[in-house]
C-alpha cells in the first residue's frame, strides 16, 4: 500500500518535472523571440519580464518534487556521515518531517491567497492582465506534489521500509 503511494507520488513528480522542463524551454523561446522582435523588427512583446517570471516560478515549484526524489535538494551531510544506520534513519525522518510541516504550512496559506485573488479578480499590472490565481495555482500544484512525495517517503520510513534514494 505504502509502496504504491510512493510509486504514485514518483509518477506525479515525474510529470510535474516534465512540465518544469517545458517551462524552462518556454523561458528560452520567449527570450529569443523578444530579442528577434527587438533587434530585427523594432518591436517587442511588452510582457517579456512578466511571462518569463511566471515560467521561472513554474519551473522551480513544479520541479521541486522531482528534484527532491533525485536527491538533488541540497543539505548538509556533516553530522549525518558520522552516524550509524539508526541515527541516519532518525535524521532522515526528522528532515522529511520538517520539510513536510513547512510545505503544508505553505499550502494552507497559498490556498487562502489563491481564493482571495480569485474572488477579487486580481490581475497583473501589465497589458496582459493575467489573473494572478493562475501562476499562484501552479506554485500550489508544485508544492502539493512535493508534499505528497515527502508524505509517501515519511510514511515508508515510519513503517520501517527504506525508500530508494533516487527516483
Binding site for another protein (CB under 8 A): 17, 20-21, 24-25, 27-28, 31-32, 34-35, 39, 48-50, 52-57, 59-61, 63-64, 66-68, 70, 72-81, 91-92, 94-95, 98-99, 102, 105-106, 108-110, 112-113, 135-136, 139
**Least distance in angstroms from the C-beta of 2 to another protein:** 22
Nearer to another protein, 3 or 80 (CB): 80
- Minimum gap (Å) between residue 6 Cβ and another protein: 19
Q: Which is nearer to another protein, 78 or 127 (CB)?
A: 78
Whole-number minimum distance, CB 5 to another protein, in Å?
21
Q: Rounded to the nearest whole angstrom, what is the least distance from the CB of residue 64 to another protein in the complex?
A: 6
Which single residue is written with the C-alpha cell 522542463? Answer: 21
Q: How far apart are CA 130 and CA 128, in angstroms?
A: 6
Amino acid at each position: 500500500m505504502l509502496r504504491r503511494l510512493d510509486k504514485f507520488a514518483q509518477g506525479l513528480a515525474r510529470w510535474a518535472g516534465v512540465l518544469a522542463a517545458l517551462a524552462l524551454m518556454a523561458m528560452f523561446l520567449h527570450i529569443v523571440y523578444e530579442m528577434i522582435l527587438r533587434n530585427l523588427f523594432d518591436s517587442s512583446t511588452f510582457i517579456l519580464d512578466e511571462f518569463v517570471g511566471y515560467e521561472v516560478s513554474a519551473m522551480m515549484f513544479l520541479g521541486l518534487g522531482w528534484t527532491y526524489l533525485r536527491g538533488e535538494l541540497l543539505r548538509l551531510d556533516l553530522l549525518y556521515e558520522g552516524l550509524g544506520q539508526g541515527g541516519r534513519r532518525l535524521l532522515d525522518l526528522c528532515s522529511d518531517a520538517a520539510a513536510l510541516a513547512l510545505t503544508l504550512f505553505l499550502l494552507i496559506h497559498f490556498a487562502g491567497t489563491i481564493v482571495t485573488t480569485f474572488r477579487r479578480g486580481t490581475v497583473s499590472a501589465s497589458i496582459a492582465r493575467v489573473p494572478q490565481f493562475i501562476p499562484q495555482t501552479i506554485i500550489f500544484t508544485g508544492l502539493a506534489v512535493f508534499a505528497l512525495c515527502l508524505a509517501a517517503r515519511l510514511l515508508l520510513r515510519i513503517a520501517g521500509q527504506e525508500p530508494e534514494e533516487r527516483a
